[in-house]
Chains A and B, each alone.
Chain A
């Protein structure tokens, strides 16, 4: 395969997948220019990570829900409820910070089990169950908080979303520790890509040509290192970025390397086929929602930590951002298709757009219009692509 043919293959066969990365780079470039480089400044890049981490955490759970052919409208309310529970435990009852986190996670799991029960075992569509959940858990949040905000959290709790790991290895104005961790991540990525490439060659599947493969690794490595360099020049490695990184890796493995993940794709792809093949559909659906509840609780902890308290209106509309991230990131509205990494890039596209427009001082209302249009275009692109594939069959 020549380099040109390789490129063509990359663009045509995986248009949907590579398209999103290209779109992401284009959007970052666009806003970098429009904001005179402010977007890429050390302080602002740190800020984007802190500001959108909880949406990205939600999107991890949401993409699994969507792959399974469901939807979850309640995550915003669950973020509020779990944050509220944590605040009540830590601030009102004076318990240590980690007891609050455990309580929030426990509530998240319970919420997930509740919704999973109705979806999986009673057979009510997730749309309805989670619409009810949206109201239910918002109401419970108000109950738990007695309609008032609670703050502030102790410093340890605030570190979850606002803390940084730095200075372990010194460095003059540039945190070496952050760079070392990023370098380890890049090497790890390169090794895993190389291994999967070897595997594909062994099973005689098409792969990119070597130069193209190396180019991709170098590009990814350069972007990650540049990003880490900016973080290192600012405040170092955000703790929440580590949480996010661990979750992304863990859930990439869950979706691609475990039986559970395979069955989620099967259920979303063809429910009756999955059933006939002996997939325990009810059990899988149940755990999809338990998992979503858990991740919503993680997001709830991060959000309450970042806002240093719990408010009755916390997490409002988060579900829409999380859902949009998934669809922009290549998930299909009919289920069965989507990736954790795609949802992350989709979430980052939303994040960079919001952040960039904020920096430019674009009016909130215009921001919403633009974000709405982007979501619509992303899904239209998906449908257009499907028709094209369908027609060429």
Chain B
């Protein structure tokens, strides 16, 4: 591939004390592409997501956006770079309303004061676009269901025109209908030209929307698959039944 990837990560490592959460991970994401990140519990998926979103800084490794090396030192830097994230442990404030949550950390101000009216307007617009069933922009988060909260978390990513959206298990707590909605949304994000990283344990979801599937195992790359790859092959990579070389950067890797 000659296109410069939207996001390119090389040799990213991060350890917590003695735990090597990720070790030398490579990952490319292009615009107009949904890349699924799969792996067993503790494989390091969330850690990688946090590195991308500026919550954690990697011990070593290179991150490039549009071919330009960047340091994503904080969530606000990530936001300024056009990276939006839905975290696994729903980063929402129960005591605030939907609109305040959507704009948390990036509030709209008019003459130095919060412009709640404007923020609510945009919130309603986004909620309408997502056809979500959230009563109003002023509803307190504490009164919403798990699925509704997930919709709020995803709606949050759309604030400020992101280029890359990272979704860490966005369908984990959702009903079938809500899951379908989220998947439709992910496809819509791709159609808008965004790059999407989808972290999920649900192979059906992953295979339904992904252009490419990257497997992590014990903090390392363990295979890269096309959307048509068989369920068994992916599962084998996840469980470690097959081992893959560190993937060649320009194509599918092959079993050893």
A266 vs B138: C-alpha distance in the bound complex, in angstroms?
A: 15
How many inter-chain contacts with C-beta < 8 Å in the A-B complex? 87
- What residues of chain B lie closer than 8 Å to A388, measured between beta carbons? none
Contact indicator A265/B109 (Cβ below 8 Å): no
Set B79, B96, B124, B136: member contacting A278, Cβ < 8 A: B79
Contact indicator B87/A276 (Cβ below 8 Å): yes
Give the residue name and chain of the A residue nearest to B104 (CB). A277
B143 at the interface (CB under 8 A from A): yes
- What residues of chain B lie closer than 8 Å to A337, measured between beta carbons? 95
- What residues of chain B lie closer than 8 Å to A389, measured between beta carbons? 142
Contact indicator A270/B138 (Cβ below 8 Å): no
Contact indicator A270/B91 (Cβ below 8 Å): yes
If the complex has contacts A274-B93, A336-B93, A337-B95, are A266 and B117 also in contact, measured as CB distance less than 8 A?
A: no
Set B78, B93, B106: member contacting A270, Cβ < 8 A: B93
Tell me how far the C-beta of A256 lies from the nearest C-beta in chain B, rounded to whole angstroms.
8
A205 at the interface (CB under 8 A from B): yes
Contact indicator A265/B93 (Cβ below 8 Å): yes
Interface string of B142-156 (1 = CB under 8 A from A): 110000000000000
A389 vs B136: C-alpha distance in the bound complex, in angstroms?
A: 19
A272 at the interface (CB under 8 A from B): yes
Contact indicator A274/B104 (Cβ below 8 Å): yes
Interface size band for A: 20 to 34
- What residues of chain A lie closer than 8 Å to B114, measured between beta carbons? 256-259, 261-262
Tell me how far the C-beta of B235 lies from the nearest C-beta in chain A, rounded to whole angstroms.
31
Give the residue name and chain of the A residue nearest to B55 (CB). A276
A268 at the interface (CB under 8 A from B): yes
Set A205, A259, A263, A274: member contacting B138, Cβ < 8 A: A205
Contact indicator A276/B75 (Cβ below 8 Å): yes
Tell me how far the C-beta of A9 lies from the nearest C-beta in chain B, rounded to whole angstroms.
15
- What residues of chain A lie closer than 8 Å to B53, measured between beta carbons? 276
B92 at the interface (CB under 8 A from A): yes
A269 at the interface (CB under 8 A from B): yes
Interface string of A265-287 (1 = CB under 8 A from B): 11011101111111100000000
- What residues of chain A lie closer than 8 Å to B107, measured between beta carbons? 259, 262
- Of residues 347 through 393 on chain A, the ones whose CB sits less than 8 Å from some CB of chain B are 389, 393
Tell me how far the C-beta of B245 lies from the nearest C-beta in chain A, rounded to whole angstroms.
34
Interface string of A187-222 (1 = CB under 8 A from B): 000000000000100111100000000000000000
A202 vs B138: C-alpha distance in the bound complex, in angstroms?
A: 12
If the complex has contacts A203-B136, A204-B136, are A393 and B143 also in contact, measured as CB distance less than 8 A?
A: yes
- What residues of chain A lie closer than 8 Å to B90, measured between beta carbons? 273
- What residues of chain B lie closer than 8 Å to A276, measured between beta carbons? 53, 55, 75, 85, 87, 91
B251 at the interface (CB under 8 A from A): no
Tell me how far the C-beta of B249 lies from the nearest C-beta in chain A, rounded to whole angstroms.
30
Tell me how far the C-beta of B84 lies from the nearest C-beta in chain A, rounded to whole angstroms.
11
Interface string of A169-196 (1 = CB under 8 A from B): 0000000000000000000000000000
A349 vs B6: C-alpha distance in the bound complex, in angstroms?
A: 60
B253 at the interface (CB under 8 A from A): no
Tell me how far the C-beta of A155 lies from the nearest C-beta in chain B, rounded to whole angstroms.
39
If the complex has contacts A257-B113, A389-B142, are A278 and B137 also in contact, measured as CB distance less than 8 A?
A: no
Give the residue name and chain of the A residue nearest to B121 (CB). A203
If the complex has contacts A277-B75, A277-B104, are A203 and B117 also in contact, measured as CB distance less than 8 A?
A: yes
B17 at the interface (CB under 8 A from A): no
Tell me how far the C-beta of B253 lies from the nearest C-beta in chain A, rounded to whole angstroms.
33
Give the residue name and chain of the A residue nearest to B109 (CB). A259
Set B74, B87, B95: member contacting A269, Cβ < 8 A: B95
Most buried by B among A262, A272, A277, A279: A277
B232 at the interface (CB under 8 A from A): no
Give the residue name and chain of the A residue nearest to B138 (CB). A205
5 additional contacts, CB 8 Å, given A199-B117, A253-B113, A336-B95? A203-B117, A268-B95, A269-B93, A273-B104, A389-B142
CB-CB nearest 10 A-B residue pairs: A278-B105, A269-B95, A277-B105, A336-B95, A278-B75, A278-B76, A269-B93, A276-B91, A273-B91, A277-B104
11 residue pairs A–B, Cβ–Cβ below 8 Å? A203-B136, A203-B137, A203-B138, A256-B114, A262-B114, A263-B104, A266-B93, A269-B95, A273-B90, A276-B87, A278-B75
